[in-house]
Amino acid sequence: MKEKSRERIPAEVRAVIERAVEELRESGTLDEVPGPGSPAPRFARPTPEGETVRLDTLLAEGPVILSFYRGRW
């Protein structure tokens, strides 16, 4: 976490974030995350309509922007 962000985030929220990051480290998940500039792994995912979207298909049409959102519903 960057120092400027650290200063603005309340201590109890910061503790939750830091705990979640530590859990990811311990699980080995962070070791598998592609770094900035790395090619995205090829994938296929269902849409809300039940269709399958494949990264390879989208790339054949042109550049692709991937946006990641980690949240809870």
Q: Kindly report, residue by residue over 27-71, the tens digit of the pLDDT.
A: 998 888 888 888 888 999 999 999 999 999 999 999 998 887 776
Are 6 and 15 in contact, with CB atoms under 8 Å apart?
Answer: no
Stated length of the chain: 73
Collapse the DSSP code of 16 into the 3-class scheme (helix H, G, I; strand E, B; otherwise coil) and give the result: helix
Model confidence, pTM = 0.50
**Higher-scoring residue by pLDDT: 69, 18:** 18
Q: Across-strand partners of 54?
A: 44
